[in-house]
Amino acid sequence: MNTIFIYPSFLNDMIKFVVYTSKTSGALSNIELNNLVTEARHNNKNNQITGILLYIDTIFLHYFEGNEESVDTLYEKISGDPRHNSLKLLKSGKTQSKKYENWQMLFKKTSFREINQLLKNNKPYSENPNGINLNYLIATEIFEQLTPDV
């Protein structure tokens, strides 16, 4: 007897996402940021990666999504990039649809001050001697509240 194996198509279509924070050793100039964003958008277009990158004082907060292989390869590259350090993975997982379908990489340069004003009903997001006080829930709220520069 032949067995017909039905493989649900959504399992093939799952999108992987990653959210991480990292630190730069000093503030990056607008030219350096512009170069980074331009390069990332160009590559992301080719690799069908989409997402949003925030630069908060000297902290990056980055969400990106795409097919698993592309996302894993990119995370490895980003992890070894000398422009930042102290990478902290806040969350990675699978989802069925893209959040930033039309955006190779939204970008916003902002500050702790602005973030804390936005999150006034939430726990404040601050830098402290023990590291960055930022978890996935706060990160999600920041992404939802901020309007990117594009």
The contact set with ligand FMN (CB under 6 A) reads 36, 40, 43-44, 53, 60, 62, 64, 74, 77-78, 81, 83-84, 105
CB of 121 to ligand FMN, least distance (A): 28
Angle, alpha carbons 84-78-51 (nearest 5°): 105
HSE of 89 in the Cβ direction (CA atoms, 13 Å)? 10
Residue 7 gets which letter from DSSP?
Answer: -
Helix axes 30-47, 68-79, angle to 10 degrees: 150
CB of 87 to ligand FMN, least distance (A): 9
Q: Which residue's Cβ has the minimum distance to ligand FMN?
A: 43
Which residue's CB is nearer to ligand FMN, number 22 or number 115? Answer: 22
Which residue's CB is nearer to ligand FMN, number 27 or number 117? Answer: 27
Which residue's CB is nearer to ligand FMN, number 20 or number 125? Answer: 20
CB of 140 to ligand FMN, least distance (A): 18
51-85 core/surface letters (b: 16 or more CB in 10 A; e: else): bbbbbbeebbbbbbbbbeebbeebbeebeeeeebe
CB of 149 to ligand FMN, least distance (A): 15
